[in-house]
Structure 1
């Protein structure tokens, strides 16, 4: 019995320092970051997907351990051209993200001290411009969003992440992104 108690105390004492270490996902921690995103705009009836790029800034705050609220603001970096041929003569259409903003709840599942996986759920509002043959038009839409990702912590102040996000999933089209970025905890 004494041997088991001694072993249990030794295990607790060995693990205690890692539990008490400051954690980049602990309540009260704020963060800011930036991601580069390869967007995918997929519209029903069009065989090709548009793949413009965007730069998205992130600000967040951990309201509880491993649970953050996060705001994002993004701008388009480059447009993409798709050939639309299902509605008469083929036309090249340029697709560009003008802006994107949203608010999300983000839940992390730690994988040791140096990594976590996470899921997000929230609301996104986006505006895009479509141009063809000298004419252009913009459209704004909003809706529920969800995604998942992995984050790696080379230090307590820096996180590197990769992520898939379904920003809009509307009737007739959807907008998703594969992203990679960096964030700084403060």
Structure 2
């Protein structure tokens, strides 16, 4: 699956770079690093929900002023630890080992420093529950969507805030806000 995603992303980002060279504009490609504060439906600890914090890296490019593509990857840096449901005294620690995805980005081009956008695509990942009794991991995948706004600080650097729904199957969701810094190159 990783090869399929790479086979889709590289040509899209390349198309954005080529179109900017032809149009004699600055490159529309960007790198981003941020933090997501994600909430999940609890199926391990006995509460309704729990939260984790993920480090998220993004690589993207614009094809034109309205449309772009983005790939991102992340991992948990702020794990959730608590007693397991139905097992008093048994501790568990939950983390997303990794997630990655490919997304199409539809932005509203305007004359301000703020660019609101909608994002949709596909995410895969692997979650892990580490307990006193052993370790359990499981892969997940789903279509993903979200909305956010980019704010250019200057010609090369900007800030981003968004709200993403990465995973929503059955009674399990992974969603939440994120903030990042991006650099255009």
TM-score normalized by structure 1? 0.77
- Is the aligned partner of 1:118 residue 2:120? no
Write the deviation string for residues 136-164 of structure 1: whole angstroms up to 9, x where unpaired.
11111101000011111111211201111
For residues 68-107 of structure 1, the aligned pairs below 5 Å read 68-85=68-85, 87=86, 89=88, 91-107=90-106
Counterpart residue number, 1:66: 66
Q: Distance in 1 between matches of 2:26 and 2:116?
A: 17
Aligned residues: 160
Aligned CA RMSD, in angstroms, stands at 2.2
Distance, in Å, in 2 between the alignment partners of 1:63 and 1:91 is: 51
Matched ranges for 1:43-58 at <5 A = 43=42, 46-58=46-58
Q: Secondary structure at the match of 1:174?
A: strand
Residue 179 in 1 paired to residue 178 in 2? yes
Measured in 1, the distance between the counterparts of 2:177 and 2:75 equals 15
The answer as to whether partners of 1:125 and 1:142 remain within 8 angstroms in 2 is yes
1:82 and 1:120 map into 2 onto residues whose CA distance is 33
Do the aligned partners of 2:65 and 2:109 also contact (CA within 8 Å) in 1? no
Distance 1:124 1:39 in 2: 15
Normalised TM-score (structure 2)? 0.78
Report Cα offsets for 1:16-43 as digits up to 9, x if no partner.
Answer: xxxxxxxxxx895111111111121213
Q: Does the residue aligned with 1:40 lie in a helix, a strand or coil?
A: strand
Unaligned residue ranges in structure 2 (runs of 5+): 1-24
Q: Which runs of 4+ in 1 moved over 3 A?
A: 43-46, 82-85, 87-92
Select the structure of larger CA radius of gyration: 1
For residue 138 of structure 2, what is the aligned residue in structure 1? 139
User: Is the Cα contact below 8 Å between 1:101 and 1:125 reproduced in 2?
Assistant: yes
Paired with 2:175 and 2:98, the residues of 1 have a C-alpha distance of 14
